[in-house]
Chain A
């Protein structure tokens, strides 16, 4: 089954404790992206990757890192999480040139206390 998977689905952590949210897709997509979804602000792009070893900032990259060492994986790293990073996070992927049709993962609900 074609899908985007994220782990963990739910995470409660404390300020400053490094964490990684994994994202994997099995559709051989070149383009991958991370979004966060917040009440009243909608979905905003954090980082994106056009292909392996090619990443760039989205609209809200502060406090996040990403890497793209393999085509299927695009982890999101929070080196020192803060409460304002409490949010619902989505990973998405698509074929390059067809990013209007992105496939989204199920989401990761992160709470930073």
Chain B
């Protein structure tokens, strides 16, 4: 089955700086990679996703890059703000597979 590794487990960034979280997946058939943000006591919320037919996707301050050859994908947050503080989970699966495999999570803290 799919296995997703996520690094780092914790990340502290000065407000205004950029943050990068990296994930590696094992199943080369995986072709859908979402990122979820979970604030304390709240639901995981989808913030961005990418499919394997593209290498990069941007949405304002958030971007995701995908390297299919190396089987890794990364979340980039620029101009970080205090409200970006949360736990971020990457995930992977392939179309037709109901199971979404999550990474172990990254606790991001933005230092004012």
A and B pair up: no
Query: What is the interface of chain A, defined by CB distance below 8 A to chain B?
Result: none
Query: What is the interface of chain B, defined by CB distance below 8 A to chain A?
Result: none
